[in-house]
């Protein structure tokens, strides 16, 4: 496998061989482990709300984006979005050192989003649910979980 980075003066920097393959495998494994840990941490933070009051939730999170009431159960939802953008970097040489200069920002596709919904009965939080692709570092997978 060869990784090539173009440089300003027309030269190419290449990284070849098994060292790069090993490095790539290590980085991929670390990313997967980080995603799992981050999901657990995120869900633990949602679970911490169970048993607390509606007032505590509203003071902490502010006004919800949506409120729904059904059969004596209230659902409060907060949704956040951020643009799916990337900055294009241009490699440049400064003496013997290559640096990456930031360039324009481009839109890659639909915005990222995350919705957290809390279930309340008698003004107490009894459960939670999340959905979206930006609730935690999840390697771009859409997920949905429900605690009750």
Low-confidence ranges of the chain (pLDDT < 50): 1-17, 138-144
The predicted structure's pLDDT at residue 30? 60
The predicted structure's pLDDT at residue 141? 42
Print the domain residue range for 64.
2-146
Any residues with CB less than 8 A from the CB of 68 and at least 6 apart, and which? Answer: 74, 75, 77
Report the Cα 141 to chain-centroid distance in Å: 9
The predicted structure's pLDDT at residue 135? 86
Strands (E) across the chain are located at 2-6, 12-16, 66-70, 73-82, 85-94, 97-107, 112-121, 124-132, 143-146
Looking at the structure of the chain, the number of domains it has is 1
The predicted structure's pLDDT at residue 44? 92
Per-residue model confidence as pLDDT tens digits over 59-97: 999 999 999 999 999 999 999 988 888 888 888 888 888
The predicted structure's pLDDT at residue 68? 97
Cβ atoms 139, 120 nearer than 8 A:
no
To the nearest whole number, what is the mean pLDDT of the chain? Answer: 78
The predicted structure's pLDDT at residue 134? 84
* Residue 138 burial (CB count, 10 A): 16
Burial-class residue 33 by CB neighbours within 10 Å (0-12, 13-18, 19+): exposed
């Amino acid at each position: 496998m060869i990784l090539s980075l173009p440089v300003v003066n027309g030269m190419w920097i290449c990284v070849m061989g098994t060292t790069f393959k090993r490095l790539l495998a290590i980085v991929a494994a670390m990313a997967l482990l980080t995603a799992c840990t981050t999901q657990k941490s995120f869900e633990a933070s949602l679970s911490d709300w169970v048993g607390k009051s509606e007032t505590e939730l509203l003071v902490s999170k502010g006004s919800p984006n949506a409120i729904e009431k059904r059969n004596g159960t209230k659902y409060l939802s907060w949704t956040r979005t951020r643009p799916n953008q990337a900055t294009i970097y241009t490699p440049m040489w400064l003496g013997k050192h290559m640096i990456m200069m930031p360039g324009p920002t481009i839109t890659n596709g639909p915005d990222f989003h995350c919705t957290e919904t809390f279930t309340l009965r008698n003004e107490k939080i009894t459960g939670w649910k999340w959905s979206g692709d930006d609730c935690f570092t999840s390697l771009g997978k859409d997920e949905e979980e429900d605690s009750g």
